[in-house]
Amino acid sequence: MRKTPLVMLAILAAVATGCSSGDSSSAPSPSATLGPTTGAATGATTPATSPVKRGCDADYLAKLTLREKLGQLLTVGVTGADDATNVVRNSQVGGIFVGGWTDKSLLGSGLIEQVKAVAKVPLMVTIDEEGGRVSRAKDLIGPAPSARATAQTMTAQQFHDATVTRGRALKDLGVTVDFAPDVDVSSQPDDSVIGDRSFSDDPAVVTEFADAYIRAMKEVGVGTVMKHFPGHGSGSGDSHTGAVRTPPLSQLQSVDLAPFRNLIDSGAAVMVGHLDVPDLTTPDVPASISPQVMSLLRDGTGYGAAPFQGPIFTDDLGGMAAITSRMSIEDAVEAALVAGADSALWITTDAVPQVLDRLEQAVSNGRLSTARVDESVLRMARYKGALQTC
């Protein structure tokens, strides 16, 4: 991987900043209460430096070694049942991702239950199913219109009802989390990177339809993930192919950040994009590995929102040039978790052992504290519904 001195200095700065703030009281406590269906955290927090409460939390953590706890903070793309079984059994990853390249016989055939059976704690089965051109399950549950077409042809209630039907179909396949809705506000052409994936260039419309989606999925027991914080809709390009620069933070406030602000207590998780944000991110440190962005989301005060208490996912760290042109997957995952993300996402299993080796080193030398790891493990557990009976 190419690493210029400027980029390496920026990466080191991000890690140092994350280490200094990783255990601060700005991060929500693992003792927040559960949402009724998805397990998303809601309610009051205590300082992140508080000891883990006895009972359910401690019992859950005691099931896992340090390496397995670190595995719980990874969501990785799989090729099929064998690949998924191996990475779950050997590394106890927190989630698997079903992409366009995945053998779909993994879903709806009983094979996914075999994969879940080798997990010590509940496993997330995630997918990108937005409708339109981002639809990984259309061959199994049928196509759906793009977000933009949906908002132009349906009421929010009609969309809610249609989403209940699709959500049940996804759940029947074994999917537990959908990386949707896209809450980017955009007037880009339909075929651009966001384009018709956005409901509208009006943040009120985006909020209304995204809310309908999240509520519908919650009703059927499928987790949702709003993306791409702090807003990709006005970005300069495609983070799959290179660095993307957004307008300054001050310009994102009234439009791009509005749906996140409006829906921050909805129970959905949030995915952070690979976005360079003037006046917010350090140069050459995109949002997905930026402590400043994680703090903005967690605290909420910097954009007029309530503190966010649910899980933070990264966008794909292994297949998008906005990250891969700057650093290796090991560097990226470490930087993301140190910055404050709860789940690092990428699209293959090949590097999982090396990533876990690196993360163990990060804990050993103090770049990533065990308290910070436990906090994220418990936040992901709540989102997965793993502590609902406590």
Q: Which CATH class is domain 5-58+68-383?
A: alpha beta
As a whole number, the mean pLDDT across the chain is 88
- Joined together, the tokens standing for residue 196 give 């018709």
320-365 tens-digit pLDDT: 888 999 999 999 999 999 999 999 999 999 999 999 999 999 999 9
* Average of per-residue pLDDT across 61-87: 98
Q: What is the pLDDT of residue 53?
A: 52
Where helices occur in 92-193 by DSSP H, the ranges are 111-117, 138-141, 147-153, 156-173
* Three-state DSSP class for residue 134: strand
**Cα separation, 390 vs 387, whole angstroms:** 6
Question: Which residues carry out catalysis?
Answer: 240, 315
Q: What is the pTM of this model?
A: 0.86
* Residue the block writes with tokens 């990250």: 323
CB 381 within 8 A of CB 92: no
Query: What is the predicted pLDDT for the residue at 1?
Result: 41
Q: What local confidence, expressed as pLDDT, does residue 367 receive? A: 97
Q: Which tokens is 329 given?
A: 């997957």
Q: What is the pLDDT of residues 213-261, one digit of tens each?
A: 999 999 999 999 999 999 999 988 788 888 899 999 999 999 999 999 9
Whose tokens are 């770049």? That residue is 367
Dist. CA 224–CA 330, nearest whole Å: 27
pLDDT tens digits, 176-223? 999 999 999 999 999 999 999 999 999 999 999 999 999 999 999 999
**Which pLDDT does position 241 carry in this prediction?**
82
What would the pLDDT profile of 140-157 be if each residue is shown by its tens digit? Answer: 999 999 999 999 999 999
The reported pLDDT for the residue numbered 30 is: 29
Sign of CA dihedral 320, 322, 324, 328: negative
84 token code pair: 């998924």
